[in-house]
């Protein structure tokens, strides 16, 4: 009887691990074992999806598998564990229609370095400019990717225009957001809740606010990333931007 119970517990834990995924919330090293002794196998960026190989931590590390099949250990405080697939279950202050689908658009940053975000660029500036900002230098979303985002979000052909909505960076490009499709979503121009607007114009206002604060040194890019990907509507409301024109 005891052997049967042990077997059932083992099968339960094994199935639980198989049903769980995790998403990286802060830059984290993928390590060869559950310690900081060995050299990292890779650096995992925010938004990276992982499969859990074991349901519990060992020495504070989760045993994980990356999308390319690399197995290793990631520090538990830098990942968010998700049960039954990649859909984030954290509650938001607003209704679901104000946010991107977390399984498709968890958010992703290419850099969270203030130095990267505030220096002058010269290599990929648009319109033959001699110098430009980080976002001007790094903006690169093809028409094919736009179409894929429209398709993923089931946007009707008649609404695939800037008047109805736009393909938007969830974490803003000017703050280090990636052009990867994991950071792109379709946001309507008009999206009301509790008598207030929460469309892309309002999110653009939050993005401008964030990037100005990063430039001034009053907001850490990591904090900006954490707050906007956790709940951009709460971030917007907490900063009082809903009361500004």
Dump strand ranges (E) for 59-190: 61-65, 71-75, 79-83, 165-169, 184-188
**Per-residue pLDDT tens for 125-180?**
999 899 999 999 999 999 999 999 999 999 999 999 999 999 999 999 999 999 99
What span, in angstroms and rounded, lies between the C-alpha atoms of 211 and 206?
9
pLDDT in tens, 178-198: 999 999 999 999 999 999 999
pLDDT on residue 3: 61
Confidence of residue 87 (pLDDT cuts 50, 70, 90): very low
186 forms beta bridges with 167
SS3 139: coil
Domain boundaries, the chain: 2-83, 96-243
pLDDT of amino acid 88: 39
2-83: CATH number: 2.30.30.40
**CA–CA separation, 228 vs 203, rounded Å?**
10
The yes-or-no verdict on residue 90 having pLDDT over 80 is: no
Tell me how far apart the alpha carbons of residues 48 and 91 are, in angstroms, rounded to a whole number. 21
Predicted TM-score of the model (pTM): 0.65
Neighbours of 177 (CB within 10 A): 28
């Amino acid at each position: 009887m005891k052997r049967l119970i042990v077997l059932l517990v083992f099968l339960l834990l094994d199935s639980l691990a198989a049903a769980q995924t995790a998403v990286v919330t802060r830059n984290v090293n993928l390590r060869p074992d559950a310690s900081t002794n060995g050299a990292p196998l890779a650096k995992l960026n925010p938004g990276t999806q992982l499969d859990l190989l074991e349901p519990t931590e060992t020495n504070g590390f989760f045993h994980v598998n990356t999308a390319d099949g690399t197995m290793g250990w990631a520090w538990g405080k830098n990942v968010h564990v998700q049960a039954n697939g990649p859909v984030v279950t954290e509650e938001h202050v607003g209704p679901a229609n104000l946010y991107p689908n977390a399984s498709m658009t968890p958010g992703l940053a290419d850099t969270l370095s203030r130095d990267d975000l505030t220096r002058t660029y010269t290599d990929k500036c648009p319109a033959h400019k001699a110098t430009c900002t980080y976002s001007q230098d790094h903006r690169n979303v093809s028409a094919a990717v736009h179409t894929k985002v429209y398709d993923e979000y089931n946007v009707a052909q008649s609404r695939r225009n800037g008047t109805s909505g736009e393909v938007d960076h969830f974490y803003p490009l000017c703050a280090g957001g990636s052009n990867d499709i994991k950071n792109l979503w379709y946001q309507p121009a008009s999206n009301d809740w509790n008598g207030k607007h929460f469309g892309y114009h309002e999110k653009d206002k939050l993005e401008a606010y964030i990037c100005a604060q990063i430039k001034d040194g009053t907001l850490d890019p990591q904090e900006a990333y954490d707050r906007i990907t956790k709940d951009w509507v709460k971030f917007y409301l907490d900063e009082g931007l809903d009361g500004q024109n």
